[in-house]
Structure 1
Amino acid sequence: MNQLSADVRHTLDVLLPDGHPLRAQIPHLRIRARCACGCTVHFTGPDPAARPEIAAETDLGEDGEVLLFAEDGRLSRLEVCSWTDPKLTLADAARFLRGEPGEAA
């Protein structure tokens, strides 16, 4: 399992600010799988049969949004939903959330 990349870690920091009850999980997360296009990562976590719930989300303006899912109270998936073509990746979302120019800016 892979450690969190800088773009994933930054996006989680924005979605789960200090004091958020799920923030304590960030140092323990590992990436179990990534999609080929770069828009989704799956974290190690609960039984895959658990029902996912949106734990946090943020808007990327006209370009899309970022969704963070939890299953049974544990973070399970981070995903970028694009409304544009080309599709946004988590790296694009992290740049946007840092205020840097890029696809989502």
Structure 2
Amino acid sequence: MTLLPASLPADVARVLHVLLPEGHPLRAQVPDLRVESRCRCGCSTALFAGVADGARSEVVAEAAIGSDGEILLFAEDGRLSWLEVCSWSDPKLTLADAARFLDGEPGRPR
């Protein structure tokens, strides 16, 4: 695994590393990303700094998290805007759960 940006929380950096493999054109933005806020519901969805409102964002990468949910990465006008974890189970999945699953670690997602 390449070094993760120190400016990002570990869970966000690990998920971005998987969703944006080496050579992906949007990967160049990762070192400059900062998390502005997190969802308050407990899922830990991350909104990146500098995004107006995200209304025009589109999905640029996604991955299933077993049968429990998925991760969606959005960009607006070619700029990464937010990283969302969608959960279809209770308790809700978090970005940390998704990072562990994507890294192949044993855990809750099935």
Pairwise same-fold verdict (TM > 0.5): yes
What does residue 73 of structure 1 align with?
A: 78
Deviation at 1:44, TM superposition (A): 1.2
Normalising to structure 2: TM-score of the pair? 0.87
Structure 1 residues 68 and 49, CA, compared in 2 at 3 Å: closer, same or farther?
Answer: closer
Normalising to structure 1: TM-score of the pair? 0.91
Letter in 1 for 2:15: T
Equivalent-residue separation in structure 2 for 1:13 and 1:26 (angstroms)? 9
Equivalent-residue separation in structure 2 for 1:43 and 1:61 (angstroms)? 25
4+ residue runs over 6 A deviation: none
Q: Name structure 1 gaps, 5 residues minimum.
A: none
Q: Name structure 2 gaps, 5 residues minimum.
A: 1-6
Identical positions, percent: 64
Equivalent-residue separation in structure 1 for 2:54 and 2:23 (angstroms)? 29
Equivalent-residue separation in structure 1 for 2:11 and 2:95 (angstroms)? 6
Q: What value does the CA root-mean-square deviation take over the aligned residues?
A: 1.6
Equivalent-residue separation in structure 1 for 2:54 and 2:30 (angstroms)? 22
What does residue 98 of structure 1 align with?
A: 103
Question: What is the aligned counterpart of 2:57 among 52, 69, 78?
Answer: 52
Give the length in aligned residue pairs: 104
Equivalent-residue separation in structure 2 for 1:80 and 1:49 (angstroms)? 16
